[in-house]
Amino acid sequence: MNVHSFFIYLCCMNKKDLILKTTLKLVNEYGFYHLNMKQLAAEAGISAGTTYLYFDSKEKLINELYKKIIQDFNAGILKAYQNDRPFKENYFDMLGVAIDYYIENPDCFSFIEQYTYAPFLFKEIKDETLALLEPLQNMIKEAKKVKLVKELPETLLIALSYGPIVSMMKLFIAGKTDLKKETTKKQLLEACWQSVSIL
């Protein structure tokens, strides 16, 4: 790739990233149904034609944003996993990374909440194996096989692990708790652990 081609590639990537970031902002302000491609282009400072150059529909744009957030989120959680460590240490560190990600990216948390619990899920995502907390799900599945966690359905074990984090994040965003405090974070992680571990 020559310098000119690389410059064009870089500009394209920057515009695509700008569109995704602007979409995140507008969805959190107005919701999925009120997202307007013309408004998006105006907010991003680009032409509507440029927006359609990258995404030919609102659905594809929202799907792309969801995939990017989930991939970044899961990649961070996966980095916290070490194959040679006890399950408990990996569990604490992986959930700790999830909490830190949400604290640093509250807009991404709000977007995931909207998307996950919307009365619709776009078919493209339904057909993929793209799952929030997939690295943690896989680890819990293995832990269940060797009796390190309670004999409960895997979906319930994930809910007991992730549900308290969601609730605390909502309180954090509302200014009713401080998840940045190390003691609060540790108490939350311990509560999650107590709910799934075999005591």
Same domain, 75 and 17: no
Same domain, 103 and 39: no
- CATH classification of the domain holding 42: 1.10.10.60
Q: Establish if 64 belongs to a structural domain.
A: no
Same domain, 97 and 185: yes
| Phi/psi of residue 197, nearest 5 degrees | -80, 155
Same domain, 127 and 96: yes
Q: What is the pLDDT of residues 52-75, one digit of tens each?
A: 989 988 888 988 898 899 999 999
Same domain, 116 and 18: no
Same domain, 50 and 82: no
pLDDT at 10: 38
Same domain, 95 and 189: yes
**Res. 35: pLDDT tops 50:** yes
Q: Establish if 63 belongs to a structural domain.
A: no
Structural domain including 93 reads 70-196
- CATH classification of the domain holding 104: 1.10.357.10
Q: Establish if 62 belongs to a structural domain.
A: no
CA gap 89, 63 in Å, rounded = 33
Same domain, 172 and 101: yes
pLDDT at 63: 86
Same domain, 44 and 75: no
What is the percent of the chain with per-residue pLDDT over 70, rounded to a whole number?
86
Count of structural domains, the chain? 2
Three-state DSSP string of the chain: CCHHHHHHHHHHHHHHHHHHHHHHHHHHHHCCCCCCHHHHHHHHCCCHHHHHHHCCCHHHHHHHHHHHHHHHHHHHHHHCCCCCCCHHHHHHHHHHHHHHHHHHCHHHHHHHHHHHCCCCCCHHHHCCCCCCCHHHHHHHHHHHHCCCECCCCHHHHHHHHHHHHHHHHHHHHCCCCCCCCHHHHHHHHHHHHHHHECC
Q: Establish if 61 belongs to a structural domain.
A: no
